[in-house]
């Protein structure tokens, strides 16, 4: 389903013409619905991995002091909703440790605070995640090569389009329909695109001449829009009927919206508990 088709679907279900509910209101409602869905959905299509290289981790690591252990800071991914796991890997991809202990930022920075375990802590402060002991200081010695952050993410905007680049041209993600950004070519060569006319001229070794055409990116795939439009539909209708002050309809679609999210989360929990015996470790931090 395209974004335009999704907007039309919400309008049809709302049974309101554009004089009452404009397209801009529907688009805002879809954006609000997606935002609420991301707050509550915890399913595999929203999982993502951010990888931090050895070079950037070493430069972001501070050494031990008399009071504090070494620590490494990594940037929070811009689309992060919730952290699932942080692990350190060696060059072969083997796990050297997992940062299983999460501390509040005050306890993390307080050298006198009592900590239940003395290793592998993390905390978050603003747009940074802090790991301690620092990168490479694990029980296996300094064999660490990277850190992986597994997390739940927000997807791109519902109407997001691929950028007009030469790589996306070669991948087939661009179209000339409604295009506004030019790419340049050597005459007779439709395989290679160039960002500027001068680049195309330089590549024109046989004086074949150059030409250009305007392109725009096609819509980026979106799991919510493409496979679970009912979540967006019901969530958008909640906002639309709140806008027109029809509280009864808003409440009805709020219930349908919540049920769709709960059903998806429940399906994933069933998948996680099937196929074998499930073991989960809990840490009561000394309380149990």
Residue 12's pLDDT is 96
Cβ contacts of 92-97, under 8 Å, gap ≥ 24: 96/138, 96/139, 96/140, 96/143, 96/144, 97/138, 97/139, 97/140
Helix (H, G, I), strand (E, B) or coil at 252: helix
pLDDT score, position 65: 67
pLDDT for 123 equals 94
**How long a stretch of residues is the chain?**
288
Say how far apart CA 285 and CA 210 lie, in whole Å. Answer: 69
Q: Report the pLDDT value the prediction gives residue 21, as an integer from 0 to 100.
A: 95
Q: What pLDDT is attached to residue 112?
A: 81
In sequence order, what are the residues at sequence separation of 6 or more whose Cβ sits closer than 8 angstroms to the Cβ of residue 282? none
Question: What's the rounded Cα separation, in Å, for the pair 189 and 168?
Answer: 16
Gap between the Cα atoms of 115 and 155, Å rounded: 36
pLDDT the model gives residue 224: 94
19: which 2 tokens? 């004089």
Residue 62: φ, ψ to 5°? -100, 150
Using CA atoms, how far residue 116 sits from 28, 44, 81, 234, 287, in Å, is 46, 32, 27, 45, 10
Q: What is the mean pLDDT of each run of 10 residues along the chain (288 residues)?
A: 95 94 97 96 95 94 76 95 94 90 88 74 93 82 87 96 96 94 93 94 88 96 94 98 97 97 91 78 62
**Whole-angstrom distance, CA of residue 260 vs CA of residue 191:** 44
CA 25 and chain centroid, separation = 25
Q: Look at residue 287 in the predicted model and tell me its pLDDT.
A: 57
Which pTM value belongs to this model?
0.85
């Amino acid at each position: 389903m395209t974004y335009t088709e999704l907007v039309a679907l919400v309008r049809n279900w709302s049974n309101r013409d554009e004089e009452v509910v404009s397209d801009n209101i529907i688009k805002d409602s879809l954006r609000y619905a997606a935002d609420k869905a991301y707050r509550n959905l915890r399913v595999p299509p929203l999982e993502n991995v951010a990888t931090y290289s050895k070079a950037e981790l070493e430069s972001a690591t501070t050494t031990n002091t008399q009071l504090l252990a070494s620590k490494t800071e990594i940037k929070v991914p811009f689309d992060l909703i919730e952290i699932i796991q942080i692990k350190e890997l060696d060059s072969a991809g083997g796990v050297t440790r997992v940062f299983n202990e999460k501390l509040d930022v005050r306890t993390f920075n307080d050298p006198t605070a009592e900590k239940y375990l003395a290793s592998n802590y993390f905390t978050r402060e603003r747009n940074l995640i802090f790991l301690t002991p620092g990168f490479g200081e694990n029980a296996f010695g300094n064999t660490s090569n990277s850190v992986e952050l597994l997390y739940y993410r927000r997807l791109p905007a519902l109407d997001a389009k691929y950028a007009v680049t030469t790589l996306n041209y070669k991948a087939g993600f661009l179209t000339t329909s409604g295009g506004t950004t030019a790419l340049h070519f050597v005459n007779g060569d439709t395989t290679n695109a160039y960002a500027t006319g001068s680049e195309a001229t330089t590549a024109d070794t046989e004086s074949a001449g150059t030409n250009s055409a305007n392109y725009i990116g096609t819509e980026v795939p979106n799991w919510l829009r493409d496979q679970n439009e009912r979540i967006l539909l019901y969530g958008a209708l909640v906002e639309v009927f709140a806008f027109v002050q029809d509280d009864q309809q808003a409440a009805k679609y709020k219930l349908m919206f919540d049920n769709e999210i709960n059903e998806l989360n429940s399906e994933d929990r069933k998948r996680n508990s099937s196929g074998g015996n499930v073991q989960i470790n809990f840490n009561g931090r000394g309380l149990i």
